[in-house]
Chain A
């Protein structure tokens, strides 16, 4: 429809376009300066063989898709892909559900609600090294507080970080904890934008809290939910620090995701391998791209409906 207006609008439409571009210009310039080069660089790294020597001397061998083929045929690949899927989907599903629950909980004011809500954001103020180290501290097999509590209830020692069966779960839990503030803030702001009269009208109809949530809150929150989930997906795909600090992706790749794999190739060993690292990074960009496509399609469907 916008296109129709523009075409029909002639001179006015064109001036509208210029205005739109003028408002967009700072962003476009900003993106060109600060993102174009790194993106180009990431692609450049992935299609050459950048050994440390080639990196310093600037004379890498062009290898075309070889790095990508190596990555895909590596034993780690399928494992990392599976872990990435579990980690990402598990994290965003739980973060979203908990964040939404909390947002609804805090939506109506009660004594101390503002302060309590603000306190929920405190985890975010901590440097990642501190929060991730604290989690690995708490989840330590022998001297961790979590096992110590479980043992008080007669549950035996769980090797949270050191067993291949639980390490992925452990880093996911820590990541969910870190992601709750993000979801809470955005979803809460979204709730604030739902006009109160709608609830009042529904209240008059005798709807209970549960019905109000499913009939009004949830549908009206859909655009905000969509963007929260999409961003959550992107940020979770990128997560390195928390996993790296807690398990190094181990034991034996049990908690290696694509992002930590990429990090390990580049910085986790004595010998930096930038090229495969960049190739894995680009695969992640592709995944995010695909998620973005799905998002836009859904949005369009919604707009048409």
Chain B
């Protein structure tokens, strides 16, 4: 498989990959197309494949009004990642390797937890936050957003950590390492892929959250981009160019982060962490 056949096969794969991406991202192109289309042309029949008579109003509005919201969203996303990891990593380790009593029950709780409708969660948070004074704070929103990711993260860590060979841990323990040190120096480095996967999800969920932000951070001076977009949706009118333009602009830093994260996964693998 790794013989001389390799090179042509791979070039062929690149072409297929590009085609697949093009198909997958067609709706994204369409969004971009709409962001540049004049309101009068938006519902043209047949639709315009290309915004040959573009308007930049949407971008002007988005750039002028949404940059602070963008920064807030990035911050909230990163905060959510940190909190999720802090709660979920030890728990995943415990469930996968230390086998506390009641681990099975915990599985169910995590599954059920994820089924609670977001709106009900939001109502619960509202009642709690109003008493704690956490309404309209970024910290409060980070905590709320983390509930989207924590059950998932624990389940995923558990699944991945279960695959780490027991012998590795046993060896460390023979060397005199305690549970904490085993966790830190064996488990964590070996969990790099799953940590990055979880981080990605935690970030994306926080990034796209609307319900918590809308319930808990309405009156705040700092609002995330998902709320920011709503200034373009008036009572009876909708400014589609601005909405789509905001989505385009907001995707750029997030896409950048994605590419970096993906490189890390690749690096982790080539470093051969798991195999050593």
Contact = CB atoms under 8 A, between A and B. Distances in A.
Q: Direct A–B touching in the complex (beta carbon < 8 Å)? A: yes
Interface of A: 2, 6, 16-17, 19-21, 23-24, 26-27, 30-31, 33-35, 37-39, 41-42, 45, 102, 105-106, 108-131, 133-135, 137-138, 140, 142-145, 148, 151, 177, 180, 182, 185-186, 188-189, 192-193, 195-197, 199, 203, 223-224, 227, 230-231, 234-235, 237-238, 259, 262-263, 266-267, 278, 281, 284-285, 288-289, 291-293, 296
Contacts of B118: 238
B226 A127 contact: yes
Interface residues of B, number: 104
Contacts of B112: 39, 285, 288-289, 292
Return the 7 tightest CB-CB contacts between A and B, nearest first: A20-B98, A38-B124, A20-B100, A23-B94, A27-B91, A110-B10, A143-B45
Interface of B is mostly: helix
A180 B154 CA distance: 21
B174 interface: no
Interface in B237-276: 240, 243-244, 247, 250-251, 254-255, 258-259, 261-263, 265-266, 268-269, 274-275
Contacts of B274: 192-193, 195
B259 A114 contact: yes
A36 B201 CA distance: 23
5 contacts: A24-B94, A42-B120, A130-B229, A131-B31, A185-B201
A67 B90 CA distance: 40
Contacts of B44: 143
B13 to A, nearest CB: 4
Interface string B55-90: 000000000000000000000000000000011101
B170 interface: no
Contacts of B34: 134, 137
A38 B14 contact: no
B31 A42 contact: no
B46 interface: yes
B163 interface: yes
Nearest to B83: A30
A38 B123 contact: yes
Contacts of B156: 186, 227
A293 to B, nearest CB: 8
Contacts of A134: 27-28, 30-31, 34, 244
A87 to B, nearest CB: 16
B210 A128 contact: yes
A33 to B, nearest CB: 8
Interface in B15-44: 16-18, 20-21, 24-25, 27-28, 30-31, 34, 43-44
B76 to A, nearest CB: 14
Nearest to B155: A227
B47 A105 contact: no
Contact of A110 (B13, B110, B193): B13
Given A120-B21, A126-B247, A288-B114, 20 more contacts: A20-B94, A26-B91, A34-B147, A42-B116, A102-B20, A110-B11, A111-B11, A112-B14, A116-B17, A116-B20, A119-B21, A119-B255, A121-B200, A123-B25, A130-B31, A130-B243, A186-B197, A189-B193, A193-B163, A296-B104
